[in-house]
Structure 1
Amino acid sequence: MEAARRLMAATPTRISPLPSPSLPSRRTRTTLSPIPLFHIPTTIRTPSILSFSSTSNNNRPETECPVPLEQQPINEYHSLSTSFPFSWATGDAVEYASRLFVTGASFTLLVGLPVAWFGSAGAQAEPFKRVLCAASSGVFAVTVAVVRMYLGWAYVGNRLLSATVEYEETGWYDGQIWVKTAEVLARDRLLGSFSVKPVLSRLKITLVSLATSLLVCALILLNIDGDQILTSKEPRVRVVPGVYNDDSARLFEPDAFRDEPELQ
């Protein structure tokens, strides 16, 4: 027994640790799927304050707008921006100027020039004056068109920027006033400030330019007529060539020349 105990004490004993149940085995691979913290939508819808359905048959329930569709400022703006000739002011500057130029030139050639050239006697002797009159008529026609556009855009702009909307339910005798909600007021004022005011500024500049052109044409015509009056004045001569002279008048109306001395 004593010899066996000594042999066991001399022999080293290796103790293997027990496998922990919480630790995975080396041969087992565990894949963990990540947990999404939030969901990313595939399509993003950006809300727009100017989005409005003008083709719907009913009013929006959240605004409870009693104004008829055709009298709502937003629909009046859409209708005006696509109608003739109000849509000219919303286009490109080159396109806008070219349309006004074509309108004035067409009126000058088709209406103003024939009337100025054949409408009075002696047109062949004063070609510059007749051409200037025809050009003035074309400028005047363009001015009338621009004034009409300005009045239409100013009306719609005032209704967009105003906090109230005046409307008629069935006729002129039952006018009503609706106070805009905060959402509608913000949308209309944003549209009026960034879409209507630039158009009005362009039309104002056009009107100033056309008025200046008309003033210059009028001054030139007045100077031409004044020079002709000063150069054609001759005292005591009452003669229209081919129509009237004093000798023929004395033959037909002797009583009218009774107190005047006879011409030598």
Structure 2
Amino acid sequence: MATSPLSPPLLSPLPIPKLPSLLSTCNPNPNTNSNPSTWRRKKKKAISPISASSSSSSSSFRNGTPPETECPVPAEQLPVNEYQALSSSLPFSWAAADLRLYCSRLALTGGSFALFVGLPVAAFGTGAVADPQADALRCALGTASAGLLAATLAVLRMYLGWAYVGNRLLSATVEYEETGWYDGQIWVKTPEVLARDRLLGSFSVKPVLNRVKLTLVVLAVSLVVCVLLFINTENPKRSSEDGGGRAIAGVYNDASARSFEPDAFCGEPDLS
């Protein structure tokens, strides 16, 4: 029987599929391959973008580049930028400087205020008295009180600024303003940013705060002592003048009555 060259043979054996083809046919996920090496290679390719991003973020964190590139907080309101701005501004940078430089600048500030403001005010307030030693003591105490007051206010301003930045560094959230005070927002720090900020706050801000606290206590105690001494140091001339004819409220004084109403005592004997 003649067969057409285009028609297939009637008794042709069926092809037996190989095992890999069967496995690929039964595999529910057509994208995966049964070959373990090929599957591992594809898995590595799928994971490579994540690993690349994590490695780039870690390398940027080590190099000092801020990892909060997607952070909605404005740059000037980030705690790390606030710390850098505070540590380079006056008078806050004095607290982070060397101890000798810190003490000398405080002494210069207090001494300048005492010399140009406290001394003229104290000299004008005491006036000329019979005892020059008491006058000099009161003038010195007033001048020292003025200088200590200026230094105390400067240290108090330092403490408030460093405490504010330290709290923002140690906190897990950042409060910021997008355009003004009426649209405040809160951003939760990422683990990398939180670790960096807490390290900076613990090892850079806390020592400065401890120094400022100690200075503030010493200056406050010295100011209170000077003020008490200034108040308790009385003028001997004024005390002697006031001791003889000083009128007490609610008690009749004949000398005061005669001085205010001389006509009422005309022709009357002195009661004293």
Length-normalised TM-score, structure 1: 0.68
Instruction: Name the CA distance, whole Å, in 2 between partners of 1:124 and 1:91.
Output: 48
Answer yes or no: is 1:254 the counterpart of 2:262. Answer: yes
Q: Does 2:165 match 1:156? A: yes
- Matched with 1:169 is 178
Instruction: Tell whether the 8 Å contact from 1:104 to 1:141 is kept in structure 2 after alignment.
Output: yes
Q: CA deviation at 1:256?
A: 7.0
Please give the residue correspondences for 1:141-220 in structure 2 after superposition, counting only pairs within 5 Å. Answer: 141-220=150-229
Aligned partners of 1:166 and 1:176 also within 8 Å:
yes
Per-residue CA distance 1:83-108 (angstroms, 9 max, x = gap)? 11100001000000000001111111
State the one-letter code of the partner of 2:218.
S
How far 1:262 sits from its partner (Å)?
3.6
For residue 165 of structure 1, give the secondary structure of its aligned residue in structure 2: strand
Distance (whole Å) between structure 2 residues aligned to residue 112 and residue 178 of structure 1: 48
Q: Give the superposition deviation at 1:234.
A: 3.0
Distance 1:248 1:231 in 2: 17
- Do 2:130 and 2:237's aligned partners in 1 also have CA atoms closer than 8 Å? no
Aligned 1:222-233 pairs, distance under 5 A: 222-225=231-234
Q: Is the 8 A contact 2:68 2:193 kept in 1?
A: no
Q: What is the rounded CA distance, in whole Å, between the counterparts of 1:256 and 1:142 in structure 2?
A: 58
1:64 aligned partner:
70
User: Between Structure 1 and Structure 2, whose CA radius of gyration is higher?
Assistant: 1
Write out aligned runs for 1:1-264 (5 A).
Answer: 52-53=64-65, 63-122=69-128, 125=131, 126-225=135-234, 234-235=243-244, 237-238=245-246, 253-254=261-262, 262=270
d(CA) in 1 for partners of 2:98, 2:79: 24
Is the contact made by 1:49 and 1:187 (CA closer than 8 Å) also made in structure 2? no
Whether contact under 8 Å (2:152, 2:216) holds in the other structure is yes
Give the Cα–Cα distance (whole angstroms) in 1 for the partners of residues 246 and 220 of structure 2: 40
The CA deviation string for residues 146-192 of structure 1, in whole angstroms up to 9 with x for no partner, is 00010000000000000000000001110000000000000000000
Gaps of 5+ in 1: 1-45, 55-60, 240-245
- In structure 2, C-alpha distance between the alignment counterparts of 1:152 and 1:50, rounded to whole Å: 28
For 2:161 and 2:63, how far apart are their aligned partners in 1?
Answer: 23
Q: Report the Cα distance in structure 1 between the residues aligned to 2:240 and 2:63, rounded to whole angstroms.
A: 69
Cα 1:191–1:228 change in 2 (3 A) is: farther
Whether contact under 8 Å (1:50, 1:191) holds in the other structure is no
Query: Gaps spanning 5+ residues in structure 2: where?
Result: 1-57, 248-253
Q: How many residues align?
A: 206
Do 1:50 and 1:187's aligned partners in 2 also have CA atoms closer than 8 Å? no
